[in-house]
Structure 1
Amino acid sequence: MTDTVNDTVKDTTDTAGKAVSEVTKSADDAVKSVASAAGTPSPGSTELPDDCVAATDDEGGVEKITALPDAPWHLQASSLLLKGADYQGVVKVRTANGTVKKVLKYVISNGTDIGDLHQLVDGQKGETYHVQAAKGSTSTIRDGKTVMYTESISGNLLGLIPVTFSPDSPPPLNIPIIYFTNVKVTQAGQFGGTLTVPGMHQYVTGG
């Protein structure tokens, strides 16, 4: 599977580069049109710790960061563009209840664009909390580096290749511009950046 993804990614680099350029231009236009939208932090997001980007390990090989939430949060989006991305490998993180788990670590330096953002967080009584952007909008993360601790990410890589990346099936390449369509992300935690959600709608289901 790794060899197949590797070969396919290399074969489609020119096409993907053109697609990413077009998407970036569209995203920039969308950002300008929603410049006055209110910023809202991501579920589980906090300010970027001083030692977060330079990965440091404690005795058990676990990253020295604030304990992450016990339960992950989820993102569903029509597109996800990570600019200035640096995949730093599979690392261990600790949650508030002491659980240690493996995640993919990404550091994003030049911003994130999210098409049709829909974030979901599971509550303790069977309810699900939703944060949803206006249909057809592009949400953005700006203002410095963002560090993502990702349990899984699936979708069409470069808009073309259906893949799922996880600690058991990590990315074969470190690509500085990562573009997915029809994406689903399970996020253990995220630090840094300012999230802006155009037409934000919050609601609860279940419970």
Structure 2
Amino acid sequence: MPATRPPTPLRTPRRRPKKSRSRRPRPPRPPPPPPSESPAVDPENCPVATDAEGGVDNAILLPDDPWTLNASSLTLKDASYKGIVEVRTASGATKRVLKYVISGGTDIGDLHQTVQDKRSGATHHVQAAKGSLSTITDGDTVMYTESISGNLLGLIPITFDPEHPPPLDIPLIYFTKVTVKQAGQFGGTLHVPGLRQYITT
């Protein structure tokens, strides 16, 4: 019999070890920035609603000193009382006044307007003819009034000023024996019958 060869042992295939790829470590993500803290709001630092100049109502500076109107009668038609406002004068000072807007015209009996010059001591007068009726017409008139006193409706002695403002917004205002101290006035056309100007010292 022919000689038999011993069986060839089976070889287990060797697995090549996988090359491990080294991963570069990623840099850590920076933490998110902390939420910004809003400073507390100080109401006193909020801008005013009326004007960038500090809450004053008038765009044009008013005279430092008021002028005075004395009249036998005063009628304000279609008047609208806007409340107490602050106005600025030429010197930079501010003061509180009553603000009126007159849309229907103004009638002034026996107009006599005066303004005092404090430097010279003189008083300047603008006066209408006796018994005449001066008028303001042609659009709205804005009045900045320091005080108005007289007989309301021809009957009730009364004074309105920032310390004693009118309790009601009356569209038709009528005074007799009236004195008005006016900080300033804008708009309308003033007609003065028999106008006379003079100065007293």
In the alignment, what sits opposite 1:190? 185
In the alignment, is the contact (CA less than 8 A) between 1:56 and 1:64 conserved in 2?
no
CA gap of 1:189–1:64, structure 2 versus 1, over 3 A, is closer
Which portions of structure 1, spanning 4 or more consecutive aligned residues, are displaced by more than 3 angstroms? none
In the TM superposition, 1:68-107 aligns within 5 A as 68-107=62-101
Helix, strand or coil at the partner of 2:125: strand
Letter in 1 for 2:83: G
Tell me how far apart the structure 2 counterparts of residues 65 and 157 of structure 1 sit (CA, whole Å): 31
Q: Distance between the aligned counterparts of 2:150 and 2:63, measured in 1?
A: 24
Task: Tell me the equivalent position of 2:135.
Answer: 140
User: Partners of 1:190 and 1:201 in 2: how far apart?
Assistant: 20
Distance 2:154 2:160 in 1: 15
User: Identical aligned pairs, as a percentage?
Assistant: 71
Corresponding position of 1:152:
147
Given residue 82 of structure 1, which amino acid in structure 2 is its aligned partner?
L
Q: In 2, are the aligned partners of 1:131 and 1:203 still within 8 Å (CA)?
A: yes
Structure 1 unaligned blocks of 5 or more: 1-54
* Alpha-carbon distance, 1:61 to partner: 1.6
Q: Look up the SS of the partner of 2:159 in the other structure.
A: strand
Instruction: Supply the distance in 1 between the matched residues of 2:195 and 2:157 (Cα, whole angstroms).
Output: 29
Count of aligned pairs between the two proteins: 152
Per-residue deviation, residues 133-185 of structure 1 (Å, max 9, x unmatched): 00000000001000000000000001111000000100001000000000000
C-alpha deviation, 1:59, in angstroms: 4.9
How far apart are residue 64 of structure 1 and its match? Answer: 4.1
Judging changes above 3 Å, is the alpha-carbon distance between structure 1 residues 59 and 97 closer, same or farther for their aligned structure 2 residues? closer
How many Å separate the matches in 1 of 2:175 and 2:52?
33
- TM-score, structure 2 as length reference: 0.74
Q: CA RMSD in A?
A: 1.1
Partner of 1:169: 164
Q: Which letter maps to 1:192?
A: G
1:111 aligns with 2:115: no
Aligned residue type for 2:149: S
For 1:181, the aligned partner's letter is T
Larger radius of gyration: 2
Structure with more relative contact order (C-alpha pairs < 8 Å, separation 6 or more): 1
One-letter amino acid of the structure 2 residue matched with residue 172 of structure 1: P
Q: Distance in 1 between matches of 2:86 and 2:79?
A: 20
* Partner in structure 2 of residue 63 of structure 1: 57
Q: Which structure is higher in helix share?
A: 1
